[in-house]
Structure 1
Amino acid sequence: MGTRSRDNKTARRVTARRLGVLLGTLGLTAPLTVAIGGAAEAAPACTTRTGPYQREAETFLGRVADGEQSPADCKAIQDFQTSHRITPNIGFAGPLTWAAMRDEIARRNPNADGKCPVNKGRVACVDLTHQLSWIQDGKAVKFGPVPVRTGRAGYETRTGSKKIYWRSVNHWSTIYKVRMPYAQFFDGGQAFHAIEGSVWSPPGSHGCVNMRIGDAKSYWSLLGNGDNVFVYGRKPGT
């Protein structure tokens, strides 16, 4: 074997190690296989253990819901975990995996549980449990659902039936000294509004319903003063 070939293999091993360190630092896992100019690395071994949410996971994945782990069940659960960056991705149907599956169900039919009223005409629904919001008219979803960030512990977004009472397109918070673009207030200073950072960043807002800029603009165009808002559920950790 020539010197150049040995050097190339050494470089590939170093690159793979660096990628592993980077993913670990970010709290992520590599995909099922990682190929860096050579042979792919195998996925983690699939577990034979039956998880506490085995039957629910099987139902979600369209498999026979017998509540017993099988190699095919494990592979299907593992693929879901890998695509959603759930660790460890070993095919165990635990609470985190089932929570992610529930969120997917909620996104497909956000008002499946009927908790947001369908007899108020147009209403902006806020599901604190799943950190989702959407606009519906009767039973028809007109926009969303979209991810939101609601109040942190001690600053919880208040639940119940509300109405939008004031709107400010370029609002500035004199309390927290931050921009609140496309602010639509519905409950004593709590409002829908865009934020510059990520809506997935912890620990949460000071009570407002934070949104991505595009979603906040859509809410601005679809809602107005007097429109209904309904907030329900409980944000995890509050």
Structure 2
Amino acid sequence: MNGPWRGAGGSRVPALGVVAALVLTLAVLGPLTVTPAPAAGATAGGTLRDPFSREIVRRGDVDADPYHIEHVYEVQYRLKRVGLFDAVPNGQFGPITEAGVKKFQKRIGVRPTGIANRPTWRRLIKQSVRGRGAVPPGCTTSGWHACYDRWWHQVNLYHDGKLLNSWLVRGGGSSTPTRTGTFRVYYRDIDHVSSAFHTPMPYAQFFSGGQALHGSRLMMDPYVGHSHGCVNFWTEDARQLWALTSHKRLRVHVYGQWS
């Protein structure tokens, strides 16, 4: 209703006929239902469980620190991959990033709002996946497969041969590289803390010794710095991978030249 109905003392009380009509309507329609507001991280018209989904990103958003990632770096790196962002990614969604998003939206034939919404993300992620020719054949077999390309700093998620999503990540350093090969996740811990380094490893899925796919509270730019062998995701992305695979048998494929 447009404003409250007031009671006694200059009150406005609905006429009895109106009350009767409301009672009759409720009797016919049943209890009223309220549509809940979208959950945190939900995308317009979908959720983060949907293929190639991310949160909505727009001008003014900032990747402020590893605890507050808005996926601006990702927008910038993916625009750079498709030739629409010439600046150095800095995690700040300003006019240059907005212009790049608009150019991409025009390219794919959607309204150029400059906002990275769900339809934009879906096409941008798919078009900016690199190294498809190097993907091991095992990644596209039946089941769930997380395929980490060390050169392209990306993890592709396949299910029964279909690509569902791709995330930007970083791996181990030159002295502690992420081991190549095919593995399976053997242990999971949603709130893991490293016993060696005493750092949080949220949404950890271990696949080879102490190496795991997990969220990082240290990574800002996936092309800056390295882990001690694990595959670092932005925490929101690790949560997304966890939601999709934590109850599945997940195989992990690590390949590509170290970067």
Unaligned runs of 5+ in 2: 1-80, 91-123
| Cα deviation code 1:193-232 (max 9, x no counterpart) | 1112314263300000000011000111111363111110
Residue correspondences, number? 142
Aligned Cα root-mean-square deviation (Å): 2.7
For residues 20-169 of structure 1, the aligned pairs below 5 Å read: 80-82=85-87, 108-110=128-130, 112-116=132-136, 117=138, 118-143=140-165, 145-169=166-190
Unaligned runs of 5+ in 1: 1-59, 62-76, 86-103
Which residue does the alignment assign to 1:92? Answer: none
Structure 1 107/170 Cα, relative in aligned 2: closer, same or farther at 3 Å?
farther
Which residue does the alignment assign to 2:249? Answer: 226
- Residue pair 2:135, 2:147 contacting (<8 A) in 1 also: no
Percent of aligned pairs with the same residue?
A: 30
CA-CA distance at 1:183 after TM superposition: 0.6
Give me the whole-angstrom Cα distance separating, in 1, the residues matched to 2:184 and 2:171.
17
Secondary structure of the equivalent of 2:191?
strand
| Cα deviation code 1:80-108 (max 9, x no counterpart) | 534768xxxxxxxxxxxxxxxxxx99853
Q: Match of 1:190, as an amino acid?
A: Q
Which residue does the alignment assign to 1:204? Answer: 226
| Cα deviation code 1:49-76 (max 9, x no counterpart) | xxxxxxxxxxx98xxxxxxxxxxxxxxx
- Residue pair 1:199, 1:210 contacting (<8 A) in 2 also: no
Give me the whole-angstrom Cα distance separating, in 2, the residues matched to 1:153 and 1:83.
24
- Residue pair 2:134, 2:256 contacting (<8 A) in 1 also: no
Structure 1 202/113 Cα, relative in aligned 2: closer, same or farther at 3 Å?
same
Question: Deviation above 6 Å: which 4+ runs of structure 1?
Answer: none
Structure 1 232/106 Cα, relative in aligned 2: closer, same or farther at 3 Å?
farther
